[in-house]
Amino acid sequence: MKALIPTGDPAEPVVLADVPEPTPCSHEALVKVEAFSVNRGETFKLERPAPGERPGKDIAGLVVQPAADGSGPSRITRVVGHPMAGGWAEYVAVPTDALAELPDSVPAPQGAALPLAGLTASRLLRTAGPVLGRRILLTGASGGVGHYVTELAAAAGAWVTAVTRDAGRGARLAELGAVDVVHDVADAHGPYDVVLESTGGRALPLALARLAKRGTLIWFGQASRTPVTLDFFDFFAGPESAIIRHFHYLDADTRLNDDLAALVRLTAEGRLHPEIGRVADWADTARTLTDLRDRRIRGKAVLTLS
């Protein structure tokens, strides 16, 4: 079968190659991939790929071989899945607890845009706790996670301030429910009950300074790729007794397939709108990865298999 494999070359980070078709374990279904999405974090990993590494975590397709242990969807079932690797290929083996059925009303590109960003957003808000009436500051809001967080939090009754440098992306975040859109963390007023921080560098101390007393800052990324320096005494200037919490989307009590099914249901009902900035044939994956890395794509980028 054909699959995309890393090259280590920033100009052309992946190429199509012939690889063996996967042999599923007993708890895995074999899925024929119709579409997959790529994430900006994956572009960073491609800079120094591990030997034999096969990227790809977000897919939509058709189950062509159910799991041998009887779990999960049956044959010829449309699904969205979140394998830990190998999804940028014609076929991928996916654990059944990382699969959810995809109704005909949700196109494959929309389904493929859901897993990593959608799971991160929904689990991030669950970690934040009840958000009804609470003021939330969201940095790095113009990516795939940021669009989902904004729409989900606003629908749950939060007052969301979204930080994005791009005016066009800010307008879309306002459409999704952001009450305020600012182009720099320094322009956010606060105080905020919750800060969701994904940028790192200078942004995190600035965001922390806008946190309310005994508020919570959840740190879920470092898109700037710049280390953070915090001063203990800065807490006394406002965010006294605040909590700073590290977040990773796989550290959750709920199963992936349950949360995937919830995201699919909200999308099918028109209550969640995957923000897809590009849909292209998978022959264009290398250029798409470069554009995503360099922030030339808003929201998610999806590749389809012809």
236 with 287, same domain: the answer is no
CB contact at 8 A, 178 and 161: yes
Name the residue type at position 243. I
pLDDT at 86 over 90: yes
106 with 159, same domain: the answer is no
Domain that includes residue 95, residue range: 2-114+274-304
148 with 237, same domain: the answer is yes
Alpha helices in the chain (DSSP H): 40-45, 108-112, 115-128, 144-155, 167-175, 203-209, 256-268, 285-293
Q: What is the mean pLDDT of residues 213-220?
A: 97
User: What is the C-alpha to C-alpha distance for residues 117 and 119, in angstroms, rounded to an integer?
Assistant: 6
Non-local (6+) Cβ contacts of 107 within 8 A are none
Show which of 203, 231, 246 is a domain's final residue.
246
CATH number at residue 41: 3.90.180.10
Show which of 208, 228, 246 is a domain's final residue.
246
Residue 261 lies in a domain: no
Q: What is the mean pLDDT of residues 133-160?
A: 96
207 with 278, same domain: the answer is no
Q: Rounded mean pLDDT of the chain?
A: 95
pLDDT at 298 over 90: no
What's the structural domain count of the chain? 2
Residue 39 lies in a domain: yes
pLDDT tens-digit profile of 188-200?
998 999 999 999 9
Using CA atoms, how far residue 301 sits from 38, 88, 151, 228, 276, in Å, is: 6, 13, 19, 29, 6
Residue 24 lies in a domain: yes
Residue 184 lies in a domain: yes
Q: What is the mean pLDDT of residues 234-246?
A: 95
91 with 205, same domain: the answer is no
134 with 236, same domain: the answer is yes
What pLDDT is attached to residue 125? 97
User: Comparing C-alpha atoms, which of 158, 160, 182, 159 is closest to residue 170?
Assistant: 182
Residue 8 lies in a domain: yes
Cα 70 → chain centroid? 29
Say which range, 79-93, 108-122, 163-177, has the weakest mean pLDDT: 163-177
Q: What is the mean pLDDT of residues 2-25?
A: 95
Using CA atoms, how far residue 98 sits from 95, 148, 193, 230, in Å, is: 5, 19, 33, 37
What pLDDT is attached to residue 205? 96
CATH number at residue 223: 3.40.50.720
User: What is the C-alpha to C-alpha distance for residues 140 and 111, in angstroms, rounded to an integer?
Assistant: 23
Name the residue type at position 288. T
| Interior angle at CA 155, CA 254 and CA 108, nearest 5 | 65
Residue 21 lies in a domain: yes
User: Comparing C-alpha atoms, which of 190, 24, 221, 42 is closest to residue 121?
Assistant: 221
Residue 95 lies in a domain: yes
Show which of 206, 230, 246 is a domain's final residue.
246
| Interior angle at CA 262, CA 246 and CA 172, nearest 5 | 70
Query: pTM to 2 decimals?
Result: 0.95
160 with 239, same domain: the answer is yes
Residue 258 lies in a domain: no
110 with 161, same domain: the answer is no
139 with 235, same domain: the answer is yes
135 with 105, same domain: the answer is no
157 with 78, same domain: the answer is no
131 with 240, same domain: the answer is yes
